[in-house]
Amino acid sequence: MRLIGLDPGLGATGWGVIEAGDGRLGYVADGTVVTNRALSLAERLVQLADGLTAVIGKYRPDEAAVEETFVNRNAVSTLRLGQARGVVLLVPARAGLRVAEYLPNLVKKTVVGSGHAAKVQVQMMVRALLPGAVVSTADAADALAVAICHAHHRETALRIARTTS
């Protein structure tokens, strides 16, 4: 199964695509959709939507996973991040993908073993779990971590469903 992980941001949204199946993970691709800060908010959201649509069209994932965001001290930044996150949820859903959401602490705990792991630790574990991963940016590493988290939690849910039916 091909999974795409997404790390939302208005300025840069990381994405990472992996293959998951039979208890194995494989790296496919990663990158970042970057928006032009000189444009209006609406134009930047269009850039984000177009970029994600192109990535989904190219790699054709079966499911998507998005990192949930936290509220920060700056209300304007939080609002803009929420708007970008809306686009990040909408694009894969509009493409017909099931979209799961994971809290940042769960992603870190799944990938590193600690819910308060540093970004460097997450990047190191992503590279260890996905040999050959390019990991072009920190945002892309976070997105790959979200995809890995989804692969692990998705499998567990499927196993539980099989044993209870």
- Which tens digit of pLDDT belongs to each residue from 58-76? 999 999 999 998 767 788 8
Which residues are tagged catalytic? 7, 67, 139
Supply 39's token pair.
């444009």
Spatial contact of 63 and 95, defined as CB atoms under 8 Å apart: no
Work out the average pLDDT over 118-145. 93
Range of the domain at 143: 2-164
Number of domains, the chain: 1
Q: Which residues contact 125 (CB under 8 A, 6 or more apart)?
A: 111, 112, 117, 145
Supply 27's token pair.
């790296």
Work out the average pLDDT over 107-118. 89
Q: DSSP string spanning 26-77?
A: EEEEEEEEE--TTS-HHHHHHHHHHHHHHHHHHH--SEEEEE-----S-HHH
Looking at residue 107, which CATH number applies to its domain?
Answer: 3.30.420.10
Query: Which candidate, 29, 32, 55, places its Cα nearest to that of 132?
Result: 29
Work out the average pLDDT over 118-138. 91
Supply 119's token pair.
């970004």
pLDDT of 135 strictly over 80: yes
Dihedral in degrees, nearest 10, Cα atoms 59, 26, 133, 122: 110
Environment class of 73 (CB within 10 Å of its CB; exposed 0-12, middle 13-18, buried 19+): exposed
Work out the average pLDDT over 130-154. 94
Q: Which amino acid is at 81?
A: L
pLDDT of 136 strictly over 70: yes
* Cross-strand partners of 34: 12
Q: What's the mean pLDDT when you consider all of the chain?
A: 92
pLDDT for the residue numbered 71? 66
